[in-house]
Amino acid sequence: MRQLCAILVAGLATPPLATPALAEAPAPALGLELNTVTEAEGACRLTFLAENALGADLDALVLEAVLFTTQGTVDRLTLFDFGALPAGRPRVRQFDVDGMSCDALGQVLVNGATECAGTGLAPGACIEALRLSSRTGVEVAG
């Protein structure tokens, strides 16, 4: 009888083998997708989908970008002001690049953030959490 009790107690104290894994919190992310590039009256219009999953509202986001031609040469450096980006809510932002044909645009390189402001955000949080993608033929890198 003592042996049976010892076996039962040991069995109850041992965690089941099929314990579900604890869900890990997703890593903070700032998603930027180049969604479309379209010609617009002497300019190339870049449309971005921005998704702030940093866990805090962004009061301001300004990114320094380098635009490369399809031949790989630098066309220009510019700033893209995304403005305020609320946490957990996607936003669309458009930027017109004057004097550039969309056919000539080969790559957008995010060089850094000149402004990344939000309550509780560490310096460099926007660049560290940046996740870049493109639905176009134009590469986006950072």
pLDDT tens-place string over residues 48-103 = 999 999 999 999 999 999 999 999 999 999 999 999 999 999 999 999 999 999 99
Q: Which residues contact 81 (CB under 8 A, 6 or more apart)?
A: 60, 61, 62
Query: Is the pLDDT assigned to residue 117 strictly greater than 70?
Result: yes
* Reported pTM: 0.80
- CB neighbour burial string for 52-86, b if at least 16 within 10 angstroms, e if fewer: bebbebbeebbbebebbbeeeeebeeeebebeebe
Phi, psi dihedral angles at 93 (to 5 degrees)? -130, 140
pLDDT at residue 18 tops 60: no
pLDDT at 20: 47
Torsion of CA 3, 5, 6, 7, to 10 degrees: 90
Q: Which residue has the tokens 């890198």?
A: 141
Q: Tokens 């805090």 sit at which residue?
A: 56
Lowest mean pLDDT among 4-8, 30-34, 88-92: 4-8
Residue-range domain boundaries for the chain: 25-141
State the pLDDT confidence band at 10, using cuts at 50, 70 and 90.
Answer: low
Q: What is the pLDDT of residue 3?
A: 57
| Rounded average pLDDT over 110-128 | 93
State residue 26's pLDDT score: 76
Top CATH class, 25-141: mainly beta
